[in-house]
Amino acid sequence: MAQPLPRLLGVLGAGQMGSGIAQVAAMAGIHVALCDTSPLVIQAAAENLEVSLSSLVSQDKTSPAVAEATARRIIRSTDIQALADADTVVEAIREDEAVKCTAFSLLDTVVKPEAILASNTSSISITKLAGQTRRPAQVVGMHHMYPVPLMPLVEIIRGTATSDAVFEATQTLSQHMGMQTILSEDRPGFVVNRMLLPLINEAFFLLMEGTGTAADIDLGMILSDNHPIGPLKRADLIGLDTCLAIMKVIFEGTGDSKYRPCPLLRQYVDAGRLGRKTRLGVFSYEDYDVQAQ
């Protein structure tokens, strides 16, 4: 039996991931309430949406009418009560277990009892997040890839208690948004990052040991395995702080030393070299326009 689409989709967190999820949902005809505690982040999300939609129109990937309708479907607020009537809420805040647990505990008190609570986490246990609520059967992982409008994949993660109906509703919503879906059990790093992040981490070890230059490490993977982007530039795109957070979750969750975060990755994060968002990571992005992405 087909699951209904949400009449209102809530998104908590208006950063790169949250604003991307809101855009894709709105382009698929879904009304969205986008919430963030920071007025500056909300303003940046509005500006980024305008730039993104203008770019799609200029490339003939959408029409001016669709772009205008998309913008009208998104409301923005710094008040979490804006999510109260949402049928599904996607949490898309920073990759920090304690912060996400607090957010789920709060969402459980704000959002109507029958609503689905989904997390865009890239590594943190859905079962643990569900345990912060009184509705564990209605909690699910809905992991989008960055940048959301260009990456047609959603990794759906079932917690221990996630119901079949909630899984099916999340799959239906993802597919309506133009995404293909894969299913992961609730294991550290899930499917995608359990493969991707060790590759990135090993690239940092190669760089730290002087086995190859950053450019050669990336070019080696691009030309030998047909990757569209090398692992070090991919890390800069994701954010080195996010990469480190995911590696820590996988390492601590498995207890396996092969997932030990590379000291050079830790050092770059400590130095504030977080990638494109700070215009410096493994590579320099002095001319990179953060707002345009």
Q: Is 122 a catalytic residue?
A: yes
Choosing from 19, 120, 122, 174, the catalytic residue is 122
Choosing from 143, 144, 184, 201, the catalytic residue is 143
Q: Which residue has the tokens 């294991």?
A: 187
Choosing from 48, 120, 125, 155, the catalytic residue is 155
Do the Cβ atoms of 9 and 88 come closer than 8 Å? Answer: yes
Q: Is 143 a catalytic residue?
A: yes
Show Cβ contacts of residue 186 under 8 Å, excluding neighbours closer than 6 positions. 125, 126, 127, 141, 157, 158, 159, 160
- Cα four-point dihedral sign 88, 94, 95, 99: negative
* DSSP structure class, residue 13: -
Do the Cβ atoms of 131 and 156 come closer than 8 Å? Answer: no
Q: Is 201 a catalytic residue?
A: no
Choosing from 19, 120, 184, 193, the catalytic residue is 193
Do the Cβ atoms of 155 and 182 come closer than 8 Å? Answer: yes
Burial pattern 4-34, b for ≥16 Cβ within 10 A else e, equals: ebbebbbbbbbbbbbbbbbbbbbbbebebbb
Q: Is 193 a catalytic residue?
A: yes
d(CA 86, CA 138): 13
Catalytic residues, by residue number, are 122, 143, 155, 193
